[in-house]
Amino acid sequence: MKKRVLHFGWIATIAGIGLYLGLTAVQTELSLEQKIAQKLMIDVRYFCPQPGEEACRQPVTRLPDELRQLIRDTGLGGVILFAENLQTPEQIIDLTQDLQQAAMNSPVGQPLFISVDQEGGRVFRTPRSFSTGFSGNMAIGATYARHGVFYAEQVGTVLGKELAVLGINTNHAPVVDVNSNPANPVINVRAFGEHPQPVAELSVALLSSMQQQGVLGTLKHFPGHGDTYLDSHLALPLVSHTHAHIEQLDLAPFQWAIEHTEVPMIMTAHIQYPALDASTIFSTAGQSMIRPATMSRAILTDLLRQQMGFEGLVITDALDMAAISHYFTPIQAVQETFAAGADIALMPYPIRRPEDLVAFKALIAELASAVRQGELSAAELETSWQRIRSVKQRWLANTQPVVDRSALYQAASQQLGQPRHRELEQELARQALTLLHAEPGMLPLVTEQLSHIHLLAATPLQARMLRQSLSQHWPEQAKEQLRWTESSFDDWQPEQALQLSQQADLVIHAGWQRLASLVDLGGMADAASQQRPAMSYAAAMQASAQVLQAAKHADTKVILLGFGTPYELIPLMPFSDISMLAYHHGIEQHGSGLLYGPTYQAVAEALLGHTPMHGELPVRLTVPDLVVREARE
């Protein structure tokens, strides 16, 4: 590994400051407990003011007095917000302003990192009804061969602008993982692709553009989450590749980013990498296990800091994920991550009820005791706190809560989901749209020859969205003779689906959305409450294959549309005449009753010959007896 140490002016230790950010006088020297609190980032997703044993599901949309007091008492360093916290622009601004006011009123006087997972596409926390969600990283990757980093820059700029006006100063994005495993259940379309150099360039472009808008970004998940077949929200993955392979594939985009732009924060992966660190640790149950990267000093300090030259903040992935919480208590987890070299522990303890406030303060006290007893290095704690303070000085210097927020509301109304942002969202959907294969003469559709189209979709809403998009572009003279029918896996009637598919002139299969990963929903709090689809993924794929095969035997033409991971199309592509990939399935319903879905609009335009398909697949697909158009590296 090439060793390169960069020196950013913003990381220099700031000493002797009596006034911080031009606000009120604050402590020039923090207590041990306050420094530890600055290293913790909690979620404020739910809070119930009354004690109880049942799961709390009361969203925090206004800052409760109990959490306000906790921030003041401890000098907490940061919070992460989820979709439940984010309802309207005015409400979000009030919440972030109140959070910052509580922090600035504490003796520590440091602003909070107020963070969110706003990757675009599959992982997007603010409501799409007023903010711009885009099609996600793999869609951006599909534009790379033709447009370079243009769309990464544009998306980063919009994400940054729209978060900044809401008072959200930290975004845990972009994903820098190289998705080299088709079975990866948690990264997949969240990645830009499977080739390290395009991933590196696109990541840096998005990060830099977002940070130009004053929102600091996070590269994730170090040392790489792209080659796993397990979701670390649910289990502890292990990557068994050689050191050389990991360096060339997984580490390369991180190294390139460190050398080519300002990287204030890198998030760890809860993954075992024995080629990087084969040392073991005992779980709470006494089980000997290979250290996860999040708890590995060899990975976070020796590799990331010393060899790769990273000088920013190391933040853990959420410590409530099963890859950590199933093996360690909260105090063990935080202590091990700090010992490994992490600066910030993300979601170290769930605060849902008043009794959790006491437990959280006890966690801080236990960590302070570990420092005093020499179990954690006091010198490293001080260095870490100075890094945090320097990054806050660099990025949060304009954090000044205000009483009259009308100007903030107005700025948000002018920025969020503005027409140019929506146009860019649609433009990306068009430019990313990827034609995987098409039989000769199939494109564009000859509408005069079609009298019956059968839609096969995951949900009735998806079928409605596709029909609406196609109808908007269908020639008026051909609409009168056209009959639409549909089948949905939410209400599956196999005999009807088979019959209609064989009767139709054209079957359009709109793709099946696999059960959402917990990252789509937010985290471990959703594991028990997640609503499963009416049909399992395996059953839906089997049913799809049966229907499409029957349609082909009846000489019905078949169009296969992918609105998610490209790998799901592989078993069905042999039955299709046209296969296309749009990468994202998002649909919004507006007050007018019309549906809004940029990728569906792009598909309709392309099928009817109004726009070309320029996207190039950023991953490899292998389909027997079928030539699939592949991207260039």
Just list the catalytic residues.
317
CATH number for the domain formed by residue range(s) 433-607: 3.40.50.1700
Which of 50-54, 301-305, 353-357 shows the lowest per-residue confidence on average (mean pLDDT)?
50-54
Among the listed residues 489, 412, 381, the one whose alpha carbon sits nearest the alpha carbon of residue 94 = 412
pLDDT band at 537, cuts 50/70/90? Answer: confident
d(C-alpha 615, C-alpha 599), whole Å:
13
Give the count of alpha carbons within 13 A of 563, CB side only.
26
Quickly tell me which residue has 């991207």 as its tokens: 631
Output the pLDDT for position 399.
85
- State both tokens at 56: 């709390």
Output the pLDDT for position 211.
98
Q: Where are the domains of the chain?
A: 34-409, 433-607
| Average pLDDT for the chain | 90
User: Quick check: 272 and 237 in contact, CB under 8 A?
Assistant: yes
User: Quick check: 224 and 260 in contact, CB under 8 A?
Assistant: no
Q: Taking 90 as the threshold, does the pLDDT of residue 22 lie above it?
A: no
User: Quick check: 616 and 633 in contact, CB under 8 A?
Assistant: no
- State both tokens at 263: 């990287």
Quickly tell me which residue has 């609406």 as its tokens: 468
Q: What is the pLDDT of residues 554-564, one digit of tens each?
A: 999 999 999 99
Q: How many CB atoms lie within 10 A of CB 21?
A: 18
Output the pLDDT for position 5.
35
In the DSSP assignment, the letter for residue 533 is: P
**Percent of the chain, pLDDT > 90?**
81
CB environment 252-263: b (16+ within 10 A), e (fewer)? bbbbbbbeeebb
User: Quick check: 185 and 231 in contact, CB under 8 A?
Assistant: yes
Listed ranges 14-28, 44-58, 361-375; the one with the highest mean pLDDT: 361-375
Output the pLDDT for position 453.
98
pLDDT band at 21, cuts 50/70/90? Answer: very low
Q: Taking 60 as the threshold, does the pLDDT of residue 366 lie above it?
A: yes
- Note the residue count of the chain: 633
- Cβ burial of 590 (10 Å; 0-12, 13-18, 19+) is exposed
User: Quick check: 104 and 579 in contact, CB under 8 A?
Assistant: no
Q: How many CB atoms lie within 10 A of CB 362?
A: 12
Output the pLDDT for position 602.
98
Q: How many CB atoms lie within 10 A of CB 72?
A: 17
Q: What is the pLDDT of residues 311-333, one digit of tens each?
A: 999 999 999 999 999 999 999 99
End-to-end CA distance of the chain, in Å? 23
pLDDT band at 529, cuts 50/70/90? Answer: low
Output the pLDDT for position 25.
42
Residues near 466 by beta carbon (within 8 Å), at least 6 away in sequence: 455, 457, 508, 510, 561, 600, 603, 604
Alpha helices in 474-597 (DSSP H): 476-479, 494-503, 518-521, 537-553
Q: What is the pLDDT of residues 282-296, one digit of tens each?
A: 999 999 999 999 999
User: How much is the average pLDDT of 78-107?
Assistant: 97
pTM for the predicted model, two decimal places:
0.92
- State both tokens at 375: 């179990």
Tell me the residue type at 583: Y
Q: Taking 90 as the threshold, does the pLDDT of residue 508 lie above it?
A: yes
Output the pLDDT for position 590.
72
User: Quick check: 171 and 215 in contact, CB under 8 A?
Assistant: yes
- Residue of 14 and 439 predicted with greater confidence: 439
Q: What is the pLDDT of residues 199-242, one digit of tens each?
A: 999 999 999 999 999 999 999 999 998 877 566 677 788 999 99
Q: What is the pLDDT of residues 188-202, one digit of tens each?
A: 899 999 999 999 999
Out of 2.60.40.10, 3.20.20.300, 1.25.40.10, 3.30.1330.40, select the CATH number for domain 34-409: 3.20.20.300
Q: Taking 70 as the threshold, does the pLDDT of residue 633 lie above it?
A: no
d(C-alpha 562, C-alpha 297), whole Å:
41
Q: Taking 60 as the threshold, does the pLDDT of residue 18 lie above it?
A: no
104 backbone dihedrals φ, ψ, rounded to 5°: -75, -20
Task: Give the SS3 label for residue 541.
Answer: helix
Q: What is the pLDDT of residues 238-279, one digit of tens each?
A: 999 999 999 999 999 999 999 999 999 999 999 999 999 999
Q: Taking 50 as the threshold, does the pLDDT of residue 568 lie above it?
A: yes
d(C-alpha 314, C-alpha 11), whole Å:
13
User: Quick check: 113 and 170 in contact, CB under 8 A?
Assistant: yes
Alpha helices in 165-233 (DSSP H): 196-211
- State both tokens at 541: 């794929």
- Residue of 190 and 530 predicted with greater confidence: 190
pLDDT band at 128, cuts 50/70/90? Answer: very high
Number of H helices, E strands in the chain: 22, 19
d(C-alpha 383, C-alpha 379), whole Å:
6
pLDDT band at 24, cuts 50/70/90? Answer: very low
Q: Taking 50 as the threshold, does the pLDDT of residue 98 lie above it?
A: yes
